[in-house]
Amino acid sequence: MEGQIQRGLYIATFGCQMNEYDSKRMEEVLYPSFTPVASPEEADLILVNTCSIREKAEHKVYSLVGRFRALKEKRPGLIIGVGGCVAQQEGERLLKRLPFLDLVFGPQGIYGLGHAVKEIEEGRGPIVLTEMVDGFEIPPILRSMPTPSPIRAYVTIMQGCDNFCTYCVVPYVRGREVSRPKDDILKEVGTLVESGVKDITLLGQNVNSYGKKRGFSTSFAELLREVASITGLRRLRFTTSHPKDFTDDVIDAMAEGPPICDHLHLPVQSGSNRILKRMNRKYTRESYLEIIEKVKGLLPDVSLTTDVIVGFPGETDEDFKDTLSLLEEVEFDQIFSFKYSPRPFTKAAQYPDQVDEKVKSERLTQVIELQKSIGLRRLSRFEGRTVEVLVEGRNPSREGELVGRTTGNHVVNFEGPDELIGQTIELMVERACYHSLRARMR
Ligand code: SAH
Ligand code: SF4
Ligand code: F3S
């Protein structure tokens, strides 16, 4: 383009859906100077989009970046950058630890990538883009890339977080909460749907407080309805909901049905009121269960999922039992469970009563074991039933098989022809597994 050779871009993405969205944005910012390639060996620019939610996530980054160093030794022109939450957390310090890096950039630095890469090529590296501006807004959609559109896509509706749960690093690495204007969101979803996307997930650390801080006249439930009315959109999801801000009008919007999906991810973290208080979650076990009851009342077949932390500082056997009993009471379709991991800047990392690593591991095993039986029981409700499945593609681990998803976000594997990809079809469920369903065409 403009007489320039296109160079290869390889992005390795860690962490949550926000990072997946951001990686897509990096591709857009750098196009057409750089186009995505399939492997780091083919790339002229390698970016690692990092996560620092737990210590383990952070470690993964260092080992991967270390491997890319060998490529740079062979090809000195190769540019290597580290972005995302670890980059924001560490800033300049990363250059000391990884001196061969050319670029360190936080989530807000994405939009300066084009300029930064030019500077590096002209010998003015390394560059650090980790300044955070309060009220930073994601620029509206940039350009659509000439790549085949996926079936599913994410759209960020708000950045950052103001909640300061005492275990969580996100408010420090993502900055304060800022909602995007509704028109930007609608336009972005519209463009994606036009290009063939059928399943959209609206993203934010706390989607239920959408627009409140900025005084937008549109509430989250209203935004959901407006996005839902976009022609051609088959499925609409959202994550993450925070129980303290979750309101009945969202349940009402969900009850209106497709394209809004029959799925709610509502992280509970702990079943003990004492621990919830220490986590600064601002809801109780009772108020959480009240929401669940209402949701189940209006959406009897809803798929519920949650996040759980075990071994938060001060968590006793009694507190932990409260978490187990909550899991039994709610019966989630799936849970994501984590051992508490002390994070930089956070309050809980300073608490004196840290739980022994061995106890954390034992509790995690118990939670996983319990959920295995609950999950299987929950998914068994589909056996012998017909479900509507949006076909997403080939099953990468079994030849001749396709993979799709139900409205409740259950993965479905079945044998079928490639022509079905992108279509919504009815399948007969034969068997439930822990995390997926096996089905056949009718
Ligand atoms: N904004 C979302 C969650 C974002 S992080 C919410 O409020 O629910 C995703 C999950 O990671 C959290 O729900 C929590 O369960 C887990 N998590 C966050 N910080 C953690 C830490 N320090 N140790 C272990 N798990 C953590
Ligand atoms: Fe972290 Fe809490 Fe914000 Fe979620 S709501 S991102 S857990 S601080
Ligand atoms: Fe990780 Fe940052 Fe997401 S810390 S979970 S990538 S917001």
Question: Is any ligand 2 atom within 6 A of the Cβ of residue 161?
Answer: yes
Closest ligand to the CA of 336: 1
148: CA distance to ligand 2 center in Å?
34
pLDDT tens by residue, 231-275: 999 999 999 999 999 999 999 999 999 999 999 999 999 999 999
170: CA distance to ligand 3 center in Å?
6
Alpha-carbon gap, residue 260 to 234, rounded angstroms? 8
User: Ligand 1 pocket: which of 338, 354, 367 to mutate (most atoms <8 Å of CB)?
Assistant: 338
Question: Is any ligand 3 atom within 6 A of the Cβ of residue 174?
Answer: yes
Cβ distance 406 to 412 under 8 Å? yes
**Domain 148-261, second-level architecture:** 2-Layer Sandwich (3.30)
Question: Is any ligand 1 atom within 6 A of the Cβ of residue 235?
Answer: no
pTM of the model: 0.96
Phi-psi group of 269: left, alpha or beta (phi > 0 → left; psi -120 to 50 → alpha; rest → beta)? left
Q: Which atom of ligand 3 is nearest to the CA of 53?
A: 4
Per-residue tokens: 155: 């759209």
Alpha-carbon gap, residue 29 to 114, rounded angstroms? 7
> ∠ CA(385), CA(388), CA(393), 5° rounding?
120
- Strand-pairing partners, residue 81, are 47, 103
- Strand-pairing partners, residue 34, are 7
The confidence score (pLDDT) of residue 183 equals: 96
Alpha-carbon gap, residue 176 to 235, rounded angstroms? 29
148-261 matches 383-441 in fold: no
Q: Which atom of ligand 3 is nearest to the CA of 50?
A: 6
Question: Is any ligand 1 atom within 6 A of the Cβ of residue 267?
Answer: yes
pLDDT tens by residue, 144-195: 777 777 899 999 999 999 999 999 999 999 999 999 999 999 999 999 999 9
Q: What is the four-CA torsion angle of 413, 418, 424, 425, rounded to 10 degrees?
A: -70
| Pair type for strands 178-179 and 158-159 | antiparallel
Closest ligand to the CA of 51: 3
What percent of the chain has pLDDT above 70?
Answer: 99
275 sits in which H/E element: helix 273-278
Q: How far is CA 62 from CA 18, 71, 101, in A?
A: 20, 15, 12
109: CA distance to ligand 2 center in Å?
21
Question: Is any ligand 3 atom within 6 A of the Cβ of residue 161?
Answer: no
Question: Is any ligand 2 atom within 6 A of the Cβ of residue 171?
Answer: yes
87 sits in which H/E element: helix 84-90
Closest CA to 145 of 51, 34, 42, 63: 34
Q: Which atom of ligand 2 is nearest to the CA of 161?
A: 3
pLDDT tens by residue, 193-211: 999 999 999 999 999 999 9
Question: Is any ligand 2 atom within 6 A of the Cβ of residue 168?
Answer: yes
120: CA distance to ligand 1 center in Å?
35
- How far from the centroid of its chain's Cα atoms is residue 351's Cα? 28
Please tell me the residue having the least CA distance from ligand 1 atom 11.
53
Alpha-carbon gap, residue 221 to 250, rounded angstroms? 5
DSSP label of 207? G
CATH of 7-129, one of 3.65.10.10, 1.10.4080.10, 3.40.50.12160, 3.10.450.50: 3.40.50.12160
168: CA distance to ligand 1 center in Å?
6
Domain boundaries defined on the chain: 7-129, 148-261, 383-441
User: Ligand 1 pocket: which of 20, 53, 279 to mutate (most atoms <8 Å of CB)?
Assistant: 53
Cβ distance 297 to 255 under 8 Å? no
- Band of pLDDT at residue 4, cut at 50, 70 and 90: low
**Domain 383-441, second-level architecture:** Beta Barrel (2.40)
pLDDT at residue 140 tops 90: no
- Band of pLDDT at residue 403, cut at 50, 70 and 90: very high
